[in-house]
Amino acid sequence: MFVVDEGKRTVVPRTELTYPGHDLKFHRNAADPVKAPVDHVMADLEDACPYEFKGEKSRKTVIEAFNTLDFGRKVITFRPNNIKSPFFEDDVRAVVAGAPNRFHGVILPKIFGPEDVHRLAKLLDDCERKAGWRFKLQIETLIENPVSLENAYEIAACSPRMAGLIFGIADYSSWMRIRDIVKDQNINFAYAKQRTAAAAKSHGLHAIDNVYLRLPRKGAAPEELADIEKGQREKNLGAAAMGMDGTWVIHPSQIAIANECYTPTPQQVEDAKRVIEMYHAQGGGAMFDQEKGEMVDEATAKMALGDLSKGVQAGVVDAAYLAEKAARSAKITGYDILRAGREARAAA
C-alpha cells in the first residue's frame, strides 16, 4: 500500500494509469480528474518513451509536470529506464532532484531479485538527502520474468520502501515464449498472477494485475467494442478473484470498467455490513445466516471487513464505520484487518 500525505492517508490502487512521460499532453490528461479518474498515475521513461526522447528531454518534461500540475489525490510515480540501462541512474537522480516532495514513488522495471531494489533504495537515500525531501519515496516493482517471479517473496520483503508488486505480462510472456496473452490469460498465467499476489500480501503490499492489451480501433463496429469490454471485464474480475487489488490501464477507455471490477458493488457492501452487524449482535462464534443459507464465523467476518475496507478506498463506505467494526473484531481476535498488512510487513 502507498502511504501518502506524510503518513495521513493509505492508498491501495484499483487503477494505475501508465502513460508516456516525454509529452506534457499525456501528463495533463493524467492529472485531469474527468479524463483520468484513477487512483494512481505513472509517467513512463522506459518502454513508452521513444528512443529520441530518452535522457534529458523526457526527464525535463516529467519534472515540469510534477512541479506544475495538480494531480489531486492520485498517487504520483514515474518509471525510469531499467536498472541495466545507461539511462537508469540519471533518470532517478534528475527527477528526484528536480521535483522534491512532488511525487510519491518509483516503479522499478525488469528486475531479477532483491539486490536490484537495494540498489534503487540506496540511490534514493542519497538523492533525497541532497534534495531535501521530507518523506521517503516508495517503490513498486514489476514482476515480469521467471527469475523475479521465483524471487517475488524476497523482493516484497527486501525494503521498507516497498509498496506493491505489479505483474508484467508482456515481458513475462516473451521470456516464457507464450504468444497469446489476451485470450485465456487468467488460465495461462494463473500461477504467475497468484504467486505475485501471494508474495505481495505476505508482506503487506498491494498486488497489481497486468494491463489488458486490446484497445478499440478507430471506427470499430459496436460488436468489436462490446467484445473488447467483455474481455477486459473478464480479465479484471478473474484477477481480482486471484487476489489482485487493482490493474494497470493504458487508455481512458479502460478506466471505468477497471474501477468497477475492483470496487465492491452496493449489494456486496450491504451484505458485508449485514454480516458484520449480525456477527457482533450474536456475540461471535459460528452461526447460520438465514438470509443467505450459509455458515458465518470469524473468517467470514474478516472477509466482510475486507470488502468494507475496499469500499472505504472507493469512497462508498464511511471510514469511521469500518474503524469501529475492525476495532471490535480485533479486541476479541487480536487480528486488525486495517493493520494486518503493516504488521505482516514489520514481522518480515
- In the chain, the amino acid numbered 136 is K
E strands along 175-297, which residues?
A: 206-209, 246-249, 287-289, 294-296
What pLDDT, on a 0 to 100 scale, did the predictor assign at position 335?
65
Q: Which of 261, 277, 305 is where one domain is finished?
A: 261
The whole-number mean pLDDT for each consecutive block of 10 residues of the chain, a chain of 348 residues, reads: 83 94 97 96 96 96 98 97 97 98 97 98 98 97 98 96 96 93 93 97 93 88 93 96 95 94 91 87 77 78 80 83 83 65 44
| Residue 159 exposure: Cα atoms within 13 Å on the Cβ side | 24
What pLDDT, on a 0 to 100 scale, did the predictor assign at position 290?
76
What pLDDT, on a 0 to 100 scale, did the predictor assign at position 186?
95
* Closest C-alpha among 316, 325, 268, 260 to residue 292: 268
- pTM, full prediction: 0.88
What pLDDT, on a 0 to 100 scale, did the predictor assign at position 310?
80
Residue 285 shares a structural domain with residue 325: yes
Q: Which of 200, 227, 261 is where one domain is finished?
A: 261
Distance CA 11, CA 1 (A): 6
Distance CA 222, CA 242 (A): 30
- In the chain, the amino acid numbered 296 is V
Residue 107 shares a structural domain with residue 211: yes
Which range marks the domain in which residue 334 is found?
A: 266-347
Distance CA 263, CA 256 (A): 11
Distance CA 297, CA 281 (A): 13
Residue 127 shares a structural domain with residue 63: yes
Q: pLDDT digits over 134-163, tens only?
A: 999 999 999 999 999 999 999 999 999 999
Residue 208 shares a structural domain with residue 127: yes
Domain count across the chain: 2
* Closest C-alpha among 158, 243, 171 to residue 209: 243
Residue 166 shares a structural domain with residue 239: yes
What pLDDT, on a 0 to 100 scale, did the predictor assign at position 79?
98
Residue 97 shares a structural domain with residue 228: yes
CATH code assigned at 101: 3.20.20.60
Q: Which of 261, 276, 311 is where one domain is finished?
A: 261
What pLDDT, on a 0 to 100 scale, did the predictor assign at position 279?
82
Residue 248 shares a structural domain with residue 343: no
Residue 202 shares a structural domain with residue 331: no
Residue 121 shares a structural domain with residue 59: yes
Residue 190 shares a structural domain with residue 282: no
> How does 62-85 read in b/e, with b if 16+ C-beta sit within 10 Å?
bbebbeebebeebbbbbbbbbbeb
